[in-house]
Amino acid sequence: MKQVKMGAQTLLYPMPAVLVGAMVNGKANFMTAAWCGIAASTPPAISVALRRARYTFEGVEVSGAFSINVPSADQARIVDYCGIYSGHRQDKSDIFQVEFGSLKTAPLIAECPIKHECKVIHTLDLNSHVLIVGEIMETFMNADCLSDGKPDPAKIDPLIYSTGTQQYHRLGEAVGKAFSMGKK
C-alpha cells in the first residue's frame, strides 16, 4: 500500500455535526461543531472544542453550562446555517423550539433527537481551541427515536459531517454487530 505523508491534519471519519447551545447575554444561542466526543462514562462526560472568539464560548464561560444537541439528517440545512452565521451578528434564539431541563443555562433544541444538559467540569487551553469538558447531567430524547425504550439509529437518522469534501451524509448500511463479529 502506497502511503502519502499529508502533514499533521485533523482528519477523522466519521465526525458528528452537533449543535452546541448556550445562553449568551440572556438569549439562547446555537453553533455547529464537529469536534465533539464522549470523554468518560462515570460520570458521563462529553468534550467539544471551541474557539475563544465564538459567541457561544462567551456564554459557556459565564454560565458554566451548555447543551449538546444531536441533529438528524433532515435538519442539515439549519445545522449548516448555525455553522455559517455567528451569534455575534445573527440572533438565533428563535430558530428552534427551545426547552430547558434543570439547568436553566443549557438551552435544548426540542427538534433534535438527542439533547444533553452539560455542566462544565474542565477547560483545557489548546491554543487555537479550548477543549470544554462537560458532565452530562441529563439526556433527553424524542420519544419517536426510541425502539423498546432504546435509542434507534435508524429513527435518529444522524447527520454526519465529512471533512475534506465538507459534505453532510446520512448513516449507511449496517456491516455487523460490535462486540460480536470479531469473536474468534
List the x/- string, 12-51, binding to its own copies by CB under 8 A.
xxxxxxx---------------xxxxxxxxxxxxxx-x--
CB burial class (10 A; 0-12, 13-18, 19+) of residue 121? middle
Q: Does 120 bind its own copies (CB under 8 A)?
A: no
Count CA atoms closer than 13 A to 116's CA, side-chain side.
Answer: 21
Return d(Cα 73, Cα 154) in angstroms, integer. 11
Using rule CB under 8 A, residue 100 touches its own copies? no
The distance of closest approach from Cβ of residue 22 to its own copies in the complex, given in angstroms and rounded to an integer, is 18
- Binding-site member from 8, 26, 53, 94 for its own copies (CB under 8 A): 8
**Helix or strand run (H / E) with residue 66:** strand 65-70
Number of residues engaging its own copies in binding (CB under 8 A): 105
Q: How far is the CB of 65 from its own copies (least distance, A)?
A: 14
Assess 53 for contact with its own copies (CB under 8 A).
no
- C-alpha span between 133 and 105 (Å, rounded): 16
